[in-house]
Amino acid sequence: MEEILTNTSVYTTLVAGLMASLMAIYGKFKNDKSKSQKDSLDAKLERLGASATEASKLAKLINVEIESMKTAAILASEKAKEAEALAGLSQEQRDAVAGLVDGVFEDRGRKDLRKQLMINFFFFLAGAVVTPFIGSLIAP
C-alpha cells in the first residue's frame, strides 16, 4: 500500500508540477497578449493622431485653395460685368475707347524705347572703356 501511495504521490507531484507549468505558460501568454493589445492600442492611437494631424493640414490647404478660387471667381465676375458694359457701347464709343487704349500703349512703348536706348548706350560706353583695360591685362 505504501508503494501505491508513493506512486500516487509521485504522480500527484508530477501532475501538480505540470499544472503549475501550464498555468505559468498560460499566464505569460495572457500577459503578452494583453501587452500586445495595449501596444496595438497605443499604435492605433498614434496612427489616429497622425491621421488627424494630416487631415487638419489637408483641410487648411483646401481652405486656402477654396479662397483662391473664390477670389478668382470674383475677379472673373467683375471682368464679365466690364465686358457686358463694353458690349453695350455704341460703335463710336468703342472706337473712342480703343483709341484711348492704343494711345496709352503707344506712349508706354515710346518711354520703354527711350529707356532701352539709354541702357544700351550705357553698356556700349562701359564696354568701350573696360575692353582696353582688360586687353592690357591679358596681353602685356
Is residue 35 a part of any domain in this protein? Answer: no
Is residue 101 a part of any domain in this protein? Answer: yes
Q: Kindly report, residue by residue over 61-87, the tens digit of the pLDDT.
A: 888 888 888 888 888 888 888 877 777
Among 26-35, 62-71, 97-106, name the one with the lowest average pLDDT: 26-35
Residue % of the chain over a pLDDT of 90: 0
Per-residue pLDDT at 119: 86
Is residue 15 a part of any domain in this protein? Answer: no
Is residue 30 a part of any domain in this protein? Answer: no
Max mean pLDDT among 7-11, 102-106, 110-114, 135-139 falls in 135-139
Is residue 115 a part of any domain in this protein? Answer: yes
Higher pLDDT, 88 or 68: 68
Residue 29 has pLDDT above 70, yes or no: no
Is residue 65 a part of any domain in this protein? Answer: no
Domains identified in the chain, total number: 1
**Residue 140 DSSP symbol:** -
Domain that residue 111 falls in: 90-140
- Alpha helices (runs of H) in the chain, residue ranges in sequence order: 2-87, 91-138
Is residue 33 a part of any domain in this protein? Answer: no
Is residue 12 a part of any domain in this protein? Answer: no
In a 10 Å sphere around its CB, with 0-12 CB exposed, 13-18 middle and 19+ buried, how is residue 24 labelled?
exposed
Which CA distances in Å does 117 have to 54, 106, 120, 124?
55, 16, 5, 10
